Amino acid sequence: MVTKTLPDVQESHIVREESRQQIADFDKWLLSQPNVKLGNNTLTPIKHLFGSGTYVREMFVPKGVTFTGKIHNMDHIIIIAKGTIKVFNETMSEVQTLTGPCIFEQERGIKRVGLAVTDVYWYNIHSNPSETRDIDKIEHRLVSKTFEEYKRLPLTKKLLKLWRLLQRH
């Protein structure tokens, strides 16, 4: 018997739609700025590491850099190995300051904004059951470009359907 209540698509956190829209608007604004660098570049280099059934994405964020993260399709682990960063996402009521070393679970469907207070080493740790090393294939499986795309995922639809079914009984 399941005693834990199943949450909606955004899992156990309350999604603040206003905050989600602010983050999406900030992301669009940030991308429109002239000196913005995307993804793996000389300012924020990304390393891809692989273990048995595991994919690790290491990102270096220099002091003073602001970024928006990706919308992850699956729960995963985040490690901040070194540094201090201010973060905000659509489930938070206020900005949080995180200082490494720290580790936490990240539920799927969350997009965050970050500002590196110091140089930061940030690691996303994901399952990689196919053990592929093709980054395009990994990204296709792990991230959505928009919240609308995320909401159309088969797993998200199945969870919503199951949740609605359970609510009726």
Q: What is the pLDDT of residue 126?
A: 95
Within a domain: 156:
yes
The per-residue pLDDT for 15 is 63
What count of residues does the chain have? 169
- Within a domain: 145: yes
Which residues constitute the domain of residue 117?
17-168
Would you say residue 5 lies in a domain? Answer: no
At residue 27, the pLDDT reads 80
CATH code for position 116:
2.60.120.10
123, part of any domain: yes
Number of domains the chain is built from? 1
Whether 26 is in a domain gets the answer yes
DSSP string, the chain: ---SPP-BTTBTSPP-HHHHHHHHHHHHHHHHSTT---SSSSSS-EEEEEETTEEEEEEEE-TT-EEE--EESS-EEEEEEE-EEEEEETT-SS-EEEESSEEEEE-TT--EEEEESS-EEEEEEEE-TT----HHHHHHHHEESSHHHHHT-HHHHHHHHHHHHHHH-
Judge whether 10 lies within some domain.
no
One digit per residue, the tens of pLDDT, for the chain of length 169 reads 333 332 333 444 556 777 778 888 888 887 787 777 767 677 788 999 999 999 999 999 999 988 888 899 988 999 999 999 999 887 777 889 999 999 998 888 888 888 999 999 999 999 999 999 999 999 999 999 888 888 888 765 566 666 666 766 5
Domain membership of residue 148 (yes or no) is yes
52 within some domain:
yes
